Structure 1
Amino acid sequence: MAGDATGAAPCRVLVVPPVTTATVGAVTTAEHDPLARLLAERACERLVVDYTHLVDFGEAARIADLFTDDGVWEGPGLVMSGRAEILAGFGRRQEVTRRVSRHVCTNVAIDVISGDEAVGRAYLVNFRHDRRAGDDPAAPAPAGLPKYVGEYHDRFVRTADGWRFAIRRFDVQFLRG
């Protein structure tokens, strides 16, 4: 390949369209198209991140919007089926205003199965502290061991509104005593 006057090879620019519901929703060949696969993976990763931000910053009731109408959330000793149950469950969590938490998700891996389905897994480390009456709400919470460490196992589906959780299961591997 010929270079410019300096002998350097010409630079190629790859233009990637912005990720939107329209661009992800328009793709039907994620299993064959590398760009479609990346867009689907990124949309699912974004659900994982949005979930943690909503629960940690006082908007847990909005988590139901991340699920399909018949979505399922499973955790130790608890199953919530359908958006109404998920809304009620996370609505109760949102009412616990004394709680400070950070859900740290890492090692997120998304596998696109088809243009409309993906599975994922992620590690979760949860730091949690319940403030007492009189505590300064602006002060940092005391640090210590995580409340729990575990794994999320997710199934995602593409809907008319974009990618959503169909199933989100949380398994605990470590629990602070």
Structure 2
Amino acid sequence: MTEGTAQERLAGLEQRLAHLEDERAVARLIAAYGPLVDSGSAEAVAALWEPDGVYDVDELLMRGREEIAAMVRSDAHRGWIAGGCAHVVGPAHVTVDGDEAVAVCHSLMVVREGGACTVRRATANHWRLRRGPDGWRVAVRTSRVLDGRPESPALLASLLAGTA
């Protein structure tokens, strides 16, 4: 094996490792959402997003960290926490391209009702993330309930179309 070949192999391994580390960092950021939102950690949830990031849920469009934090501090959300709820974000299919990433996954909102846990909402999620000086942050998260509307499965299928 020549020195050049060893250096090339090492450089290739370093590049592959960096890519895997980016995928892991994005997946960990997404996985943090559920525990943070269910603990009512408004500022920590908002910090997952870029300062001007967007969280687009069916009935609510939040722009910027303050609006996202306000959602977590809202009476409605605090009521879900007080009654017992879990936001469970499924494994994300993550695609990293330089300082940009896209992830697609499901999420469930589970609530306690009458002593039992019930799925209140099953949702399709499409995340666009960017790497900045503070690491990976969400630029846009789009979530649509899986209730038969065509845009919900389209978000999930976006990974097949090369946009995830």
Whether these two folds match at TM > 0.5 is: yes
* Greater Rg by CA: 1
TM-score bracket relative to the smaller structure? 0.7 to 0.9
TM-score, normalised by the number of residues in structure 2: 0.73
In 2, the alpha carbon distance for the partners of 1:101 and 1:85 equals: 21
Which residue of structure 2 lines up, in the alignment, with residue 40 of structure 1?
Answer: 22
Query: Does residue 164 in structure 1 map to residue 137 in structure 2?
Result: yes
Unaligned runs of 5+ in 2: 1-13, 149-164
In 1, the alpha carbon distance for the partners of 2:115 and 2:16 equals: 45
Of 38, 46, 58, which residue of structure 2 is paired with 1:64? 46
Identical residues among aligned pairs (%): 33
Unaligned runs of 5+ in 1: 1-31, 131-140
Which residue of structure 2 lines up, in the alignment, with residue 11 of structure 1?
Answer: none
TM-score, normalised by the number of residues in structure 1: 0.68
Q: Measured at CA, do residues 102 and 86 of structure 1 come closer, stay the same or move farther in structure 2, by a change above 3 Å?
A: same
In 2, the alpha carbon distance for the partners of 1:143 and 1:174 equals: 22
Q: Which runs of 4+ in 1 moved over 4 A?
A: none
Q: Secondary structure at the match of 1:147?
A: strand
How many residues end up aligned between the 2 structures?
133
Contact 1:148–1:172 (Cα < 8 Å) also in 2: yes
Structure 1, residues 115-166: CA drift from partner, whole Å, max 9, x if none?
x110001111220137xxxxxxxxxx72243101111110010111110111
1:98-109 equivalences in 2 (<5 Å)? 98-109=82-93
Structure 1, residues 83-113: CA drift from partner, whole Å, max 9, x if none?
1211222221553352311122223110002
Q: Secondary structure at the match of 2:84?
A: strand
Q: Secondary structure at the match of 1:58?
A: coil
Question: Whose helix fraction is larger, Structure 1's or Structure 2's?
Answer: 2
Counterpart residue type for residue 135 of structure 2: G
Q: CA RMSD of the aligned region, Å?
A: 2.1
Q: Measured at CA, do residues 144 and 100 of structure 1 come closer, stay the same or move farther in structure 2, by a change above 3 Å?
A: closer
